[in-house]
């Protein structure tokens, strides 16, 4: 029995880190699983979001980007309450807020953390040393991570870069 347990521990310690975002699955805001592997061949714009932030109006531009570049990029929002408690709502409240105020139809993940000890595994990967050009904790709400068609992080945009900025749209 001890031998089997040791093998299991060793297997977990030696499993290779993800090489792209397609390895990640998580719950959507509606409780259904979102598997990023279903987006192979498309670019992704992954954004940590909040409903009570000065950058919250970017939801409108994210929706416009999602519609205008449909087929080229998939926008996914990740509600998080890490900065100034600006996402206090529950999943249902967040979904209703986004739909009612900004007409959001792009996928939203369930509320999670994007920094700290309880960081969402996807954001741990996106901000880690596996991506040396984009390391470091997220500084505020509405940071954007652009993923290429092969599932690799190609650019990170800070909160002040709006979704329709040519720095983003020029890469779509």
Annotated catalytic residues are 101
For the chain, where are the E strands, in sequence order? 25-27, 33-35, 43-49, 73-79, 144-147, 153-157
- Least Cα distance to 155 among 73, 37, 38, 90 occurs for 73
Rounded Cα distance, 158 and 61, in Å: 15
Contact 109, 28 (CB under 8 A): yes
- Least Cα distance to 137 among 150, 128, 149 occurs for 128
Q: Is 114 helix (H, G, I), strand (E, B) or coil?
A: coil
Count CB-CB contacts under 10 A for residue 100. 9
């Amino acid at each position: 029995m001890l031998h089997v347990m040791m093998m299991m521990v060793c297997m977990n310690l030696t499993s290779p880190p993800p090489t792209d975002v397609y390895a990640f699955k998580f719950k959507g805001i509606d409780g259904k699983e979102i598997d990023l592997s279903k987006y192979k061949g498309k670019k992704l714009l992954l954004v940590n979001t909040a409903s009570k932030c000065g950058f919250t109006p970017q939801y409108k531009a994210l929706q416009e980007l999602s519609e205008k570049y449909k087929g080229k990029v998939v926008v996914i929002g990740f509600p998080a309450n890490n900065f100034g408690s600006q996402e206090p709502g529950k999943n249902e409240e967040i979904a209703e807020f986004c739909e009612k105020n900004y007409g959001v139809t792009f996928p939203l993940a369930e509320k999670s953390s994007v920094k700290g000890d309880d960081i969402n595994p996807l954001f741990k990967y996106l901000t880690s040393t596996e991506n040396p050009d984009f390391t470091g904790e997220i500084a505020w709400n509405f940071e954007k991570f652009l993923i290429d068609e092969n599932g690799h992080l190609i650019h990170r945009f800070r909160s002040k870069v709006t979704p329709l900025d040519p720095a983003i749209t020029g890469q779509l």
